[in-house]
Amino acid sequence: MQIKLQNFTKRFGDTTVIEDMSLSIASGEMIALLGPSGCGKSTTLFAISGIHRIDGGSLHFGDRDVTTLPPQDRPVGVVFQNYALYPHMSVAENIGFPLRVQKLNTAEIKRRVGEMAELVQIGNLLKRRPQQLSGGQQQRVALARALVRKPDVLLLDEPLANLDAKLRLEMRSEIRRLQRETGITAILVTHDQIEAMSMCDRIALMRDGQIEQISTPSEMYERPASHYVAGFLGNPPISFLKAEANGKLMLGAENSLPMPQGVDASGPITLGIRPEHFGPQHQGPTVTGRVSFIEPQGREDLIDVTLPDNQRLRAIVPAGHDFALGQDVNWQVDLSRTHLFNAEGNRL
Amino acid sequence: MKQMTCALALLAATAATPVLAEDINITVWAGGSNDSDHYRIDNIKIAADILSREAAIRGEELNITVEGKRDFDGWDGFKQAVTLGAEAGNAPNIVVTSHLDIAPWASAGYIVPVEDYIDLDAWPLNNVYSNLMEIAAYDGMQWGVPQDAESRPFFFWKETMEKLGYSAADIDAMAARVQAGEYTLRDMLADAKKAVDMGLVEEGYGFYPRVSNGPDYAQFYQSFGGELMDPDTGKLVLDRTAMTEMYQFFVDAVEAGVTRKNHIGTDWDQWYSEVANGKAAFWHGGTWHYGRYTGKEGNEDFFGTIGFTLIPAGNEAGRANTVTHPLVYLVTDQEEDRAEEIAAQLVSIASEPRLNTLHAIASSHLAIGKAEAALDLYAGDRWASEATEVLLPHANAQPNHPSYGAFSEAMFKGLEAAWSGVQTPEEAVAEIEAQMSATLGDELIIR
Amino acid sequence: MNTSIKGNWILILALTLFSAPLVIMYGFQLIDSVSRPAPGGIIPQEWELTNWRFLWEPIDSARPSIWRVTFNTFVFASTTALLVCAFSITAAYALSRLNFPARRFFLAGLIMLHAFPTITLIIAIFIVLQFLGLYDSLMGVILVKAALELPFGIWIMKGFYDSVPWEIEMAGVQDGASRFRVWWELILPQVKPGLSALLIFSFLAGWSEFILPLVLAPGADAQVLATYMNAVIADDTRPDYGLFKAIGMFYALPVIAIYLLFQKRLMNIYGGGTKG
Amino acid sequence: MNRQTLLGWSFLSPALMAVVMFFLLPVILTVVFAFTNMSTSTGILGGEYQISESDLRRLPAAGVSNESVEMLAGAGYAVRPETLALFASDFGDERADELDALHGGAVFDDRRAIERALKDLRRDPIRSVRDRKAAAEMFRISILGQRYPTEAAFADAIADIGVPDADRAALTEAAYTGWTFTTQNFELLWELPATWRYAMNSVVYVVLTLAFNVSFGLFLAFSTFYLPTRTAQTFRAIWFLPRILPPVLYVLMWQWLTWDQGFISTILRPFGIEPINWMRHTATHAWTFIVLINGCVGASLGMILFSSSLRAIPETQLYAAQVDGANRWQQVRFVLLPQMRWPILFITSYQTLSLLTSFEYILLATDGGPGRQTEVWALAAYHTALSNYGGNLEYGLGAAYALALVIIGILLSALYLRFFNFRELVAKPRIEQ
């Protein structure tokens, strides 16, 4: 089912949270709405689910206009951050509830609940109550309940936020597997870039009620459309340097880099260099500075280099080096992988 | 009443056609009634039986069910219930209440005059003492029928008097001396102080008055020359001098140590048991106290231990007096005129001497009519006979005036304030004067 | 933190001293109802059950039987409680969860009513009852009592509703259920503790109510234990504290039983509702 | 109207109806009544029209001419041709003729007299009381004591007896028995010294009781906080009971404790202290016990709320305080108490209003005595309007008392609205459709 959100506007009282946003999702695609809290990603999700009214614009599921449809009538399944399982119902009752609302007969409900439980691999837990389940199990029940009514769209609101690190990994692939198996169109709301990148076909990165960039994870990582996108993706994060472009990129008095190919700029710009593209092990022009911080990570170390003009660059250096604090270094930058942004923050 | 007339005419016209069984429910509420007062309701039941029998002889079937209630939360609760009930249109058919309620309840239209339904010139009503009938009349109409009579005498403990130096003859002559104004409240106070000083009674027990508001206190106002109502204009009277002197009297009693400062509010049971057994030298009460003293409190020799007189005069201006505060049967306004008529007839029958005597003797009240004295039950009761003789001829009643309730309430409030030392008598009188002139307006004469 | 008895003896002593009057009153309430003290004393002399005679014989010819009065009281308290609960669970849900015009206004009104001097309105309430033809009937007092307890009930229930996660409601709606069904099947079960606390609480409030029946239903048909007991005490010919106390014990037994059974829930109501 | 609105309204409507019936309407009525002279004598539900004997002397002052007054005062029952004709049609010509012969042209002052005349007819007296009453009515020419349900009926009646036009309006006004609008109640409240005393009593009552409630509630909460669970529970139960015990019973216990032959008097007797009624001996005694009686009820609310907010304070703070060397008092003073600001504020404001308007315990304990010393404003309202010995129920004045409380109630609760973070309470519902 294709989802098309056009010129979507949402206001709460006098404050406009989202203005004129458009988003279209292909059938069977899983897309992530990524962004910091308060950027409007949950609002968008709730608007699609029908829990929030759409103040302007339209929403289509396929050819069907669902803009004003109440949530009950939308073919949407939602998994909430805290799973929102009904505490007074057993697992089977929880999963069966949407079917019961549809007035299906008991045998049919039982059959479909069983099927669903098998799909999410909790067939042995049907008689339990939610509070007797682990976080991962609850998550599976929530998924089952969201999918049991065979919705056209699956909405996931921060589904992994309440899980511990190990379970999170497991559920990440589990959700992706389910989405693939059912072929459902899914929207994942998250503030975790790894989740977004690892689970989704495309990412819509949101900022202040607007989509900053929408593209595949690798595209977004490789070619961030803006300073904001570049800074949001990547861990450890990208380092930004202020530079003056006048044929060269001047980094203070001591350092300068050649202009990357195909870029034409002058005046103050921002240069973004990811840690994996700076260090003693790369090919390219060099920058001098002094080692100001070393953070061992096991396989590799994170090393901060402070340039003479007090700007910092971070590098990922394979473990086993012998750099020490205070040591002056002269390291290479992988120039072709750097990102340049103008004063407005847009990619050059 | 116009409609009533029409209704009567209509009924008169249809009286010829035989009426089949007629069922009437009559409710009777009696205020301030204890167990011994049950004849207030029972007499109506007996009357209902008689009335049905009379009807049966005439060939009519009249079934009257009488339902009584008397367990109210004091007079306050009773009056509240009757008033609100009347407003709500479900007042009881007959109420037994203070005659003071006639004025306001008549004005509000809660009650109907019994004279609309019964012949006052016929038996048994023509037997009722005319001054009592008068008390149940207001504005030229006979609203109710006296249910009982009583009087509020002054009591003293004979033994204490003897120890104070009074001879048996002196004691016997007390009633006459009080009546003549020779023995005043001031004399009493002196005797009471002596009794306390001599240790005959404990401090605070020399003079041991009623513990709550009641008509009794109007008597003391009269003792000091106060007049409750101006006979010419029918307005209530606040006599500042009399009121101040009356308040002063109680303040003096407190100061002399013969009365307790916090006496008001004393538990009634405690009070009864104390006065009935000689713990107090002087006190005042009601004729019905006889039943309590000799019954529950176990005083087996009432006449040997307790003497009674009128309330003595307080000063030159005043006079010895006693207030009778008869309860009256009143018939309330009902949608069905027939119910009012039956109720009035029941009240009339309940005033038969035999029936009323049952109540009088069972509850130590006095007769409402002359003929009762001739009945064995009544004549055989020493208290009833003596009290009737000594007290009733001198008894007056509080006035039926719509605002008398406010007057009496204010008077007692002031007394309480002076008595408990919150205000001086002068201040208290000034305050009630302000209050009364504000609430009563034109209806008050201040002297 | 030291919470042993030994370490806190001063505290316990102080508390005991302060509590002594209450304990003495409770104690003698019980003792005096089944014994007779010496005249002028307080130490029980004889154990006897005559004070409880009101259970099998009328104590005064004018009074209705205690069982009838008890039945009235029970009907009064339980109907009041049911009404309060029924009205509170719906109104509180609407105020807590539903979006409708003037909701703000009603919420403000609720808070105002919560602290409103209701008893001062009793004269006017009488008029209203009278217009409804319900003066001097048990039903009338029940309605008034329930109405007066409502703001408290709605307040409490709103507190409980507020603490149910929104997501449950959203999930229900998303699962296709109507708001009514969501409320009935999904939310109501979550506020059961609050509901039972409110039920108990309003039952107790009805059981104890004195002034409303006194003023609004003085007739014999609608007597409740509070007015019955007060009338027995007020009747100045019977100074029988033993009897009063026995009736009092009888009156208090359900209260004590409810307290012992539902302590936790009762405390709950104060915890849940009045957080402000 | 969307589905949610519909559901909202229908869910709210039962409660709304109750609120309108028993809060809103009564409030409006109270306001109206406060401006009337409504009392027992005027009745509540409007009056009728009647000139009674005692009204006659008031009429000149009300602007009715003496001529009219005399006309009204005139005799009641007259045997005249027109009244006789009326009589004849119902009771026969024979009787009418005899009556005419005996009393033709006579005037009877009261009904009793004419009834006698009818009873004394020789040939065929009217025997039945009921008939006699009906017959007597036919001769009535006076309107004294007659009640007319409407103004029109009364107007007809006074026109019939020939009251001049000029006097009719004043007479009608004077004849009305129901209540009228007036501002006298407020003037009265302002003038009466008692008003101020009741107001002062209320202030004393609220301040003292509140002080007791809060301080004792705090004491109970803190002390049980430090005790082992079972001991704490016992004490909490002791202090919780007053709250749920029926007031009638609870006050009875105090009565027993304090009356002349009660517990206190009995145990003090051996020490040579005269038995007194400890609750009613003096105003001070009465106040002490009223504060104690109400206080013990109120303290439990404080205890419960304070205890639960104490439990919400992380215990680690206390460990930290202990490590820092704070003794128990210092823990309370510097760590716990500052965090109790909110519940204390809540209890204080909440109870201020409920104490101001409550009178049940006072009514049962002292009923305002001794000497109205403990009569608080709300109790005065109750006494004035609904309950006094004389049965003189002044609804109008009582409503004026009540109105003052209603206004204070509205003002205070409006204040609390600002206080208690109304915004947060009305946070918008999160499902919009």
Q: At what angle do helices D184-191 and D395-419 cross, to 10 degrees?
A: 80
Q: What contacts B441, CB < 8 A, 6 or more positions away?
A: none
Residue B305 lies in a domain: yes
pLDDT-based confidence at B4, cuts 50/70/90?
very low
Q: Which of C24, C94, C173 sits opposite D263 (nearest CB)?
A: C24
pTM metric for this prediction? 0.83
Which residues in chain B are closer than 8 Å to C218, comparing Cβ atoms?
72, 77, 80-81, 84-85
Beta strands A266-273; A312-318: pairing state:
unpaired
The answer, yes or no, to whether residue B439 has pLDDT greater than 50, is yes
In chain D, % of residues over pLDDT 90: 5
Same domain, B159 and B246: yes
- For residue D370, cis peptide bond before it (omega within 30 degrees of 0): yes
Residue B284 lies in a domain: yes
Beta strands A339-341; A300-306: pairing state:
unpaired
User: What per-residue confidence (pLDDT) applies to D264?
Assistant: 86
Residue B28 near residue B68, CB atoms below 8 Å: yes
The domain in which residue B384 lies consists of 13-149+327-393
Higher pLDDT, C265 or C77: C77
How far does D4 lie from chain A, in Å, by closest CA? 10
Residue B216 near residue B269, CB atoms below 8 Å: no
Residue B282 near residue B188, CB atoms below 8 Å: yes
User: What per-residue confidence (pLDDT) applies to A13?
Assistant: 80
Same domain, A183 and A287: no
The answer, yes or no, to whether residue B10 has pLDDT greater than 60, is no
Chain B segment 336-365 residues within 8 A of D by beta carbon are 341
What are the distances in angstroms from CA A37 to CA A14, A170, D407? 20, 24, 46
The CATH number given to whatever domain includes residue B378 is 3.40.190.10
pLDDT-based confidence at C115, cuts 50/70/90?
low
Whether the CB of B279 is below 8 Å from some CB of chain C: the reply is no
User: What per-residue confidence (pLDDT) applies to A53?
Assistant: 86
Where are chain C's structural domains?
Answer: 6-48, 60-273
User: What per-residue confidence (pLDDT) applies to D19?
Assistant: 86
Q: Single out the residue in A211, A229, A247 at which a domain terminates.
A: A229
Same domain, A94 and A141: yes
What dotted CATH number matches D193-425?
1.10.3720.10
Distance CA B371, CA B382 (A): 17
Q: Which residue of B has its CA nearest to D150?
A: B2
Residue A141 lies in a domain: yes
Q: Which residue of D has its CA nearest to A73?
A: D433
| Cross-chain residue pair A77–C177, CB shorter than 8 Å | no
| Cross-chain residue pair D33–C215, CB shorter than 8 Å | no
SS3 B196: helix
User: What per-residue confidence (pLDDT) applies to B2?
Assistant: 43
Distance CA A196, CA A81 (A): 15
Rg of the Cα atoms in chain D: 34
Same domain, B281 and B233: yes
Q: Which of D41, D48, D128 sits opposite B104 (nearest CB)?
A: D41
- Low-confidence stretches of chain A (pLDDT < 50) are none
HEC per residue, chain A: CCEEEEEEEEEECCEEEEEEEEEEECCCCEEEEECCCCCCHHHHHHHHHCCCCCCEEEEEECCEECCCCCHHHCCEEEECCCCCCCCCCCHHHHHHHHHHHCCCCHHHHHHHHHHHHHHCCCHHHCCCCHHHCCHHHHHHHHHHHHHCCCCCEEEEECCCCCCCHHHHHHHHHHHHHHHHHHCCEEEEEECCHHHHHHHCCEEEEEECCEEEEEECHHHHHHCCCEHHHHHHCCCCCCEEEEEEEECEEEECCCEEEECCCCCCCEEEEEEEECHHHEECCCCCCEEEEEEEEEEECCCEEEEEEECCCCCEEEEEEECCCCCCCCCEEEEEECHHHCEEECCCCEEC
Distance CA A23, CA A1 (A): 14
Whether the CB of B35 is below 8 Å from some CB of chain C: the reply is yes
Whether the CB of C241 is below 8 Å from some CB of chain D: the reply is yes
Whether the CB of C167 is below 8 Å from some CB of chain A: the reply is yes
SS3 B214: coil
Which residues in chain C are closer than 8 Å to A66, comparing Cβ atoms?
none
| Cross-chain residue pair B109–D43, CB shorter than 8 Å | yes
Whether the CB of D202 is below 8 Å from some CB of chain B: the reply is no
Same domain, B102 and B158: no
The answer, yes or no, to whether residue B3 has pLDDT greater than 60, is no
Residue A346 lies in a domain: no
Summarize pLDDT for D189-247 with one digit per residue, the tens. Answer: 887 778 888 999 999 999 999 999 899 888 888 888 888 888 888 888 888 888 888 89
SS3 B307: strand
Chain D segment 121-150 residues within 8 A of B by beta carbon are 128-134, 137, 144-148
Summarize pLDDT for C133-175 with one digit per residue, the tens. Answer: 888 888 999 999 999 888 888 888 888 888 888 889 899 988 8
User: What per-residue confidence (pLDDT) applies to B335?
Assistant: 84
Q: Residue B145 forms beta bridges with which residues?
A: B329
- For residue A236, cis peptide bond before it (omega within 30 degrees of 0): yes
C-alpha C206 chain-centroid distance: 5
User: Once rounded to an integer, what is the mean pLDDT over residues C99-125?
Assistant: 77
Which residues in chain A are closer than 8 Å to D433, comparing Cβ atoms?
50-53, 70-71
**Residue B380, class by beta-carbon neighbours within 10 Å (0-12 exposed, 13-18 middle, 19+ buried)?**
exposed
User: What per-residue confidence (pLDDT) applies to A209?
Assistant: 86
Which residues in chain C are closer than 8 Å to D253, comparing Cβ atoms?
25-26, 29, 248
Summarize pLDDT for D8-58 with one digit per residue, the tens. Answer: 888 888 888 888 888 888 888 888 988 988 888 888 877 888 888 777 777
Q: What contacts B352, CB < 8 A, 6 or more positions away?
A: B47, B124
Same domain, B124 and B191: no
pLDDT-based confidence at D422, cuts 50/70/90?
low
Whether the CB of B60 is below 8 Å from some CB of chain D: the reply is no
Residue B398 lies in a domain: no
Distance CA A127, CA D82 (A): 99
| Cross-chain residue pair C231–B69, CB shorter than 8 Å | no
**Residue D25, class by beta-carbon neighbours within 10 Å (0-12 exposed, 13-18 middle, 19+ buried)?**
middle
Q: Do chains A and B touch (3 or more CB pairs under 8 A)?
A: no
User: What per-residue confidence (pLDDT) applies to C222?
Assistant: 79
Same domain, B290 and B233: yes
- The single-letter code of the amino acid at D94 is E
CATH fourth-level superfamily of C60-273: MetI-like (1.10.3720.10)
- The single-letter code of the amino acid at D226 is Y
Runs of H (alpha helix) within D161-228: 165-175, 184-191, 193-225
Q: Which of B9, B267, B431 sits opposite D193 (nearest CB)?
A: B431
Residue A195 near residue A160, CB atoms below 8 Å: yes
The answer, yes or no, to whether residue C50 has pLDDT greater than 80, is no
Cβ atoms < 10 Å from Cβ of D266: 16
For the record, the structure tokens of A5 come out as: 């959100």
The domain in which residue A29 lies consists of 3-229
| Cross-chain residue pair C94–D7, CB shorter than 8 Å | yes
Q: Which of C115, C144, C233 sits opposite D353 (nearest CB)?
A: C115
Same domain, B134 and B177: no
Residue B61 near residue D17, CB atoms below 8 Å: no
User: What per-residue confidence (pLDDT) applies to B16?
Assistant: 47
How far does A306 lie from chain C, in Å, by closest CA? 48
Question: What's the sign of the alpha-carbon dihedral C21, C23, C28, C33?
Answer: positive
The CATH number given to whatever domain includes residue A282 is 2.40.50.140
The answer, yes or no, to whether residue B7 has pLDDT greater than 80, is no
The answer, yes or no, to whether residue D261 has pLDDT greater than 90, is no
Rg of the Cα atoms in chain B: 23
Q: Which residue of B has its CA nearest to C227?
A: B73
| Cross-chain residue pair B408–D390, CB shorter than 8 Å | yes
| Cross-chain residue pair D431–A12, CB shorter than 8 Å | no
Distance CA B136, CA D142 (A): 22
Beta strands B94-98; B22-30: pairing state:
parallel
Summarize pLDDT for B54-82 with one digit per residue, the tens. Answer: 999 988 889 999 888 887 877 888 888 88
SS3 B326: coil
Residue B224 near residue B245, CB atoms below 8 Å: yes
| Cross-chain residue pair A53–D431, CB shorter than 8 Å | no
The pLDDT mean for chain D works out to: 83
Which residues in chain C are closer than 8 Å to A49, comparing Cβ atoms?
170, 174
Q: How many domains does chain A have?
A: 2
Residue of A12, A78, A81 for testing the chain C interface, max C β-carbons within 10 Å? A78
Residue B382 lies in a domain: yes
| Cross-chain residue pair C170–A102, CB shorter than 8 Å | no
Q: How many domains does chain B have?
A: 2
| Cross-chain residue pair B85–C214, CB shorter than 8 Å | no
Q: Which residue of C has its CA nearest to D402?
A: C120
Same domain, A177 and A124: yes
Distance CA B262, CA C274 (A): 42
User: What per-residue confidence (pLDDT) applies to B221?
Assistant: 92
Residue B7 lies in a domain: no
The CATH number given to whatever domain includes residue A155 is 3.40.50.300
Q: Which of B11, B264, B438 sits opposite D371 (nearest CB)?
A: B264
Distance CA D208, CA D293 (A): 12
Same domain, A45 and A181: yes
Whether the CB of C50 is below 8 Å from some CB of chain D: the reply is no
| Cross-chain residue pair D369–B265, CB shorter than 8 Å | yes
In degrees, rounded to 5, the angle at the alpha carbon of residue C238 between the alpha carbons of residues C234 and C243 is: 95
| Cross-chain residue pair A70–D428, CB shorter than 8 Å | no
How far does B12 lie from chain D, in Å, by closest CA? 6
Same domain, B169 and B106: no
| Cross-chain residue pair B34–C237, CB shorter than 8 Å | yes
Distance CA C214, CA A24 (A): 71
What are the distances in angstroms from CA C170 to CA A12, A92, C77? 18, 19, 37
Chain C segment 82-141 residues within 8 A of D by beta carbon are 86-88, 90-91, 93-101, 103-104, 106-109, 111-125, 127-128, 132
Beta strands A300-306; A210-215: pairing state:
unpaired
Element (H, E) at D93: helix D93-103
Which residues in chain D are closer than 8 Å to C18, comparing Cβ atoms?
216, 219
Whether the CB of B57 is below 8 Å from some CB of chain C: the reply is no
Summarize pLDDT for B121-166 with one digit per residue, the tens. Answer: 888 888 888 888 888 888 888 999 999 888 888 999 988 988 888 8
Element (H, E) at B39: helix B39-57
Whether the CB of B83 is below 8 Å from some CB of chain D: the reply is yes
- The single-letter code of the amino acid at B48 is A
Q: Phi, psi (5° rounding) for residue A339?
A: -120, 135
Q: Single out the residue in A196, A213, A229 at which a domain terminates.
A: A229
Residue D113 near residue D15, CB atoms below 8 Å: no
How far does B427 lie from chain C, in Å, by closest CA? 31
